[in-house]
Amino acid sequence: MAFLQTIPELRQPAPGVELLCLPEPRFKRAQLSLGFEMPMDKKRAARTLLAEVLSQGSASYPSRLKLTQALQDLYGASCSIYADRAAEYHRFSLQLGWVGDRFLPAEEMVQPRLFGLARGLLDQPKRGANGSPFDVETMERERSALLKRVRERKDDRPSYAEERFLAQMCAGEPYGLLAWDSEDALHELSADQLEVARLDLLASAPITAIVVGPCDVDLVETWLADWFSTRGEVRSLPPIQHPPVGKLREFREELPMEQAQFHYGFRYAQPESPRSFEALGLACAILGGGAHGRLFRVVREEKSLAYGIYAMLRARKGLMTVAAGIDAEAYQQVRAEVENQLLDLQQNGPTAEEMEFAIVNRLDRLRALADSGSRLANYHLREHQLGFKRTPAFRAADLQSLSPQEVATAAQSLVADSVYLLAPGKNQNPAAASTPS
């Protein structure tokens, strides 16, 4: 199986709109993702609630029931709208998916019908009575539901631990902010503020779209051109912050729970070249990239301290983070092991076997991109955002020629910033203490 040797065709159908095209007819389902990126500004609360309100229907499909029925009619097509934080930006996303024509009756025209439905959600919302930009009942219901979800997020302990870790490690940076701002901000939103946020998004947000699978890319381009061609100048986004690293910080919080959640964060200066970034990725993989990673072998296999422990790069921001579920009592041991293993990698570089395992695993993943539309889209979107735009074949060539010294040098760029533990409090999770039997 060969490496893919192409990058997506880049089209610019309208001001501030970049479209990455991967028309791959071998896939069964096509997917199109539109990401509207904005600063993590005060309007992000409005955009977050807006996503919820717009998901409930449009002028043409004025209820969630009608909207879902329309999607079912299109052979289970999907259309979702959501808002979250992506790197240091607030991202408002429209995601579409539909089955390729060759699996459908000849007369079906799913793609254009789905596109019409999707545009209507953002362009022609269901309006409220007396000139209100949105239906008040819908808006209040969605506000209430969103507030409940915000309050309940700590029910998912691992996700909550990650959120708290990043919030404290990156306090004062956009990366540490919540996508919805705050409960107070959500409480105070008016329908007019949502409408301002909607118009602002459509008019001035830089948009990155990527389409992959069995689809008509010309139709996608025409659709986007028709929708956004009248835009003026789009907003330029602030650069991502890379503050200097100070003394290692340690955070500990408590909640009733059974298993502690451990996070360790490192910062690195953005690598100067794609090759040095590849070396950094390899260093991360050798440290904690899966079953062949050092931390997995030592912390799990040798010391039985965790079921899993993994390291990952948050590439746009310039962070490497390590995460594991552990016994709170093992905190110092796990922390020391992370530090020791990284120090050893920095000073002595990887072993020949570590290089072999990590490289062959990454090569396999690069080859396997050809089998999955969603993985292929994610790969190329990341490359585009990082400004590298490398083909899988290009990356494979870099990987195969990297030396252990280059990996050690890349590892040396990692500087410890924060270590965090969310630990069981005095009241352990009451049900976990009496597991069903």
Residue 355 is a binding residue for other proteins (CB under 8 A): no
DSSP 104-142: S-TT--HHHHHHHHHHHHHHSBPP-GGG-SS-HHHHHHH
Which residue of 8, 13, 16, 97 would you call a contact of other proteins, by CB under 8 A? 97
With contacts defined by CB under 8 A, name the span among 6-14, 58-66, 112-120, 236-244 that binds other proteins. 58-66
With contacts defined by CB under 8 A, name the span among 151-159, 166-174, 215-223, 413-421 that binds other proteins. 151-159
Are 81 and 32 in contact by the 8 Å Cβ rule? The answer is: no
User: Residues near 24 by Cβ (< 8 Å), separated by ≥ 6?
Assistant: 212, 213, 214, 373, 376
Q: How many CB atoms lie within 10 A of CB 337?
A: 22
CB of 400 to other proteins, least distance (A): 12
Which residue of 12, 59, 76, 401 would you call a contact of other proteins, by CB under 8 A? 76
Are 161 and 325 in contact by the 8 Å Cβ rule? The answer is: no
Rounded to whole angstroms, the Cα distance separating 267 from 249 reads: 13
In the bound state with other proteins, the residue whose beta carbon lies nearer, of 230 and 434, is 434
Looking at the DSSP assignment, which residues form a beta bridge with residue 320?
Answer: 266, 313
Which residue of 361, 378, 385, 412 would you call a contact of other proteins, by CB under 8 A? 361
- Burial of residue 96, with CB atoms counted within 10 A of its CB: 0-12 exposed, 13-18 middle, 19 or more buried: buried
CB of 431 to other proteins, least distance (A): 4
Residue 109 is a binding residue for other proteins (CB under 8 A): no
In the bound state with other proteins, the residue whose beta carbon lies nearer, of 307 and 336, is 307
Which residue of 202, 363, 393, 397 would you call a contact of other proteins, by CB under 8 A? 363
With contacts defined by CB under 8 A, name the span among 27-35, 128-136, 176-184, 396-404 that binds other proteins. 27-35
- Count of H helices and E strands in the chain? 15, 11
163-222: contacts with other proteins (CB under 8 A): none
DSSP 345-381: HHHH---HHHHHHHHHHHHHHHHHGGG-HHHHHHHHH
| Cα 400 to chain centroid, rounded | 28
What the block records as the tokens of 262 is: 């451990």
Binding characters for other proteins, 216-255, by CB under 8 A (x = yes): ---------------------------------------x
Query: What residues line the site for other proteins (CB under 8 A)?
Result: 1, 27-29, 63-65, 68-69, 71-77, 97-99, 103, 141, 144-145, 148-149, 151-152, 154-155, 157-158, 255-259, 291-292, 300-301, 303-307, 325-327, 356-357, 360-361, 363-365, 367-368, 371-373, 427, 429-432, 434-437
